[in-house]
Amino acid sequence: MNTPNVSANLDVAPQPDEQAKREGFALGLPPRAALLPRSGWIALIAFIIAMGICVPVAALVLPESSTFHLSAYSMTLVGKLMCYAIGALALDLVWGYCGILSLGHALFFALGGYAMGMYLMRSIGREGNYQSDLPDFMVFLDWHKLPWYWQGTEHLWYALLLVILVPGILAWVFGFFTFRSRVKGVYLSIITQAMTFAAMLLFYRNETGFGGNNGFTDFKRIAGFPITSASTRTVLFLMTLGVLILAFIAARAIVTSKLGRVVTGVRDGEARLMFLGYSPLSYKLFIWTVSAVLCGIAGALYVPQVGIINPNEMSPGNSIEMAIWVAVGGRGTLIGPIIGAFAVNGAKSFFTANFPEYWLFFLGLIFTLVPLLLPSGIMGLIDIALRKKKAGGHSH
């Protein structure tokens, strides 16, 4: 057998007939898992259609008095959670499938957010407090022209390009040097966190030109539409949902591909993989960069919905929190992190609204208990339940 063992974390069992069909190939690869089982596709499409109809209706058509009316608050909340879910998905790609625990994904998230924020700041135009062409904070700092890196950010297409390029290039460069030096495990986690911490300190400074402490806020419009109007919000919400689904399908496609198997091999036995003749560097670099870009996109969707971006967003704590979403949902499952992001952040919203002083206790407990008692997260629980049902009571 000259292939690494990859079946351990694929939650969809290979179809037997497919396996038989592929047995004829010379390589003798075990069959690839389908992207999604048929029932999964049907459920997904039904869900998309339902959301595509229900959300606009609930937000725009129904009167505010109706029980089914989707308020701006709840739409923002769910939109925010979906952005977090995209971030968690991105982190699961590297942590769950490649064994790289990044504690710096909040940085990529925030960088995407800042790139978007730059566009949003520029599109305020002269409606700021100082009625200047420059963003307010620059007027406040007595700057007279835009720094070079702000050039062109008045175009949405360029900002979107930045959303992809900035986290992507940073991740590639960082990954190239760390992976080439074979930094891994806990050390890599610490380095990613140090990078995030350094970036946060940099962004906190006024001289950096990103608004210092306050970051960017008071956005007025996006692509010409008023940013706070219900219809703009609905569109952003649906876009986020679309991106989340696309990201999920793309991630699924990556991890079930041959490349994805090698990446999983890196996780399970990097040394063995190298002896088999693979160079893990490019595989790690690819998955790492894709993950960072995905995270950046999540940040870019997050900022117009939440209406603010500041350096706090890239604090080390946020990155670690992202890891806990993945852990709670179940890493290496793709769907788990999405559930985890919703579960943990839902709990956060609930606690901070009702028992603000207990939220950190609760979060700390999740951090402590999930790795101890629930190492494969919510998905692990579901998995166990399903197996039990199938095996008629036999335990996992």
Partner 1 sequence: MTDSILRFARRGLCAILIACMPLAAFAALSADDLAPLAADDFDAKSAAIDKLIANADAPSIAVLSALADGSLVATDAGRVLIQTDDGNKDPLTNKTVEAPDAQPVTLNNLLRSKVSGAVSGLQLASPDIEKRRAAIDELLKNADPSIKPLVDKARAQETDPTLKKRLDTLWATTALHDTDANKRLEAVQLVAARHDLDMNELLRPIVVKNADGTFAEPDARVRAAAQAGIEELDSIQRRGEIVGTIFAGLSLGSVLLLAALGLAITYGLIGVINMAHGEFLMIGAYATYVVQNLVQHYAPGAFNWYPLFAVPVSFAAAALVGIVLERLVLKHLYGRPLETLLTTFGISLILIQATRTIFGAQNVQVTNPSWMSGGVSVMQNLILPYNRLTILGFSLVVVLLAWVVLTKTRLGLFVRAVTQNRRMAACVGVKTARVDSYAFAFGAGIAGLGGCALSQIGNIGPDLGQSYIIDSFMTVVLGGVGQLAGTVIGGFGLGLVSKTTRSVLKACSP
CA distances from 364 to 5, 104, 232 (A): 35, 19, 37
Does residue 320 bind partner 1 (CB under 8 A)? yes
Tokens 């010409």 label which residue? 224
Residue of 366, 377, 378, 379 that binds partner 1 (CB under 8 A): 366
Residue of 151, 350, 368, 388 that binds partner 1 (CB under 8 A): 368
Does residue 344 bind partner 1 (CB under 8 A)? no
Q: Which is nearer to partner 1, 28 or 364 (CB)?
A: 364
Please, which of residues 76-95 interact with partner 1 by CB under 8 A?
A: 95
Segment interacting with partner 1 (CB under 8 A) among 84-92, 107-115, 126-134, 360-368: 360-368
CA atoms within 13 Å, Cβ hemisphere of 39 = 1
CA distances from 381 to 208, 348, 388 (A): 46, 22, 11
Shortest distance in whole angstroms from residue 364 CB to partner 1: 3
Burial class (CB in 10 A: 0-12, 13-18, 19+), 145: exposed
Does residue 142 bind partner 1 (CB under 8 A)? no
Shortest distance in whole angstroms from residue 113 CB to partner 1: 23
Q: Which is nearer to partner 1, 188 or 227 (CB)?
A: 188
Does residue 363 bind partner 1 (CB under 8 A)? yes
Site string for partner 1, 98-127 (x = CB under 8 A): ---x-x------------------------
Does residue 185 bind partner 1 (CB under 8 A)? yes
Tokens 């925030």 label which residue? 110
74: how many CB neighbours lie within 10 A of its CB? 12
C-beta of residue 9 within 8 angstroms of C-beta of residue 334: no
What is the distance of C-alpha 374 from the center of its chain?
22
Question: Residue 197's closest CA among 92, 117, 314, 63?
Answer: 314
Question: Burial letters for 314-349: b for 16+ Cβ neighbours within 10 Å, e otherwise?
Answer: bbbebbbbbbbbbbbbbbbbbbbbbbbbbbbbeebe
Spatial CB neighbours of 2, under 8 Å, sequence gap ≥ 6? 276
As given in the structure block, the two tokens for residue 162 are: 């930045």
Please, which of residues 187-216 interact with partner 1 by CB under 8 A?
A: 187, 189-190, 193-194, 197
Segment interacting with partner 1 (CB under 8 A) among 28-36, 246-254, 342-350, 359-367: 359-367
As given in the structure block, the two tokens for residue 114 are: 């800042």
Shortest distance in whole angstroms from residue 382 CB to partner 1: 20
Shortest distance in whole angstroms from residue 183 CB to partner 1: 11
Spatial CB neighbours of 130, under 8 Å, sequence gap ≥ 6? 136, 139, 140
Q: Which is nearer to partner 1, 119 or 325 (CB)?
A: 325
Residue of 43, 53, 173, 360 that binds partner 1 (CB under 8 A): 360
Q: Which is nearer to partner 1, 27 or 271 (CB)?
A: 271
Does residue 372 bind partner 1 (CB under 8 A)? yes
Question: Residue 110's closest CA among 258, 318, 265, 269?
Answer: 318
Total residues interacting with partner 1, rule: CB under 8 A: 29
Does residue 147 bind partner 1 (CB under 8 A)? no
Residue of 31, 307, 316, 380 that binds partner 1 (CB under 8 A): 316
As given in the structure block, the two tokens for residue 241 are: 């949902």
**3-state class percentages of the chain: helix first, strand second, coil last, to nearest 5:** 70, 0, 25
Segment interacting with partner 1 (CB under 8 A) among 30-38, 181-189, 239-247, 267-275: 181-189
User: Helix axis angle, 280-306 relative to 105-122, nearest 10°?
Assistant: 40
- Residues in the site for partner 1, rule: CB under 8 A? 95, 101, 103, 185-187, 189-190, 193-194, 197, 316, 320, 323-324, 327, 357, 360-361, 363-368, 370-372, 375
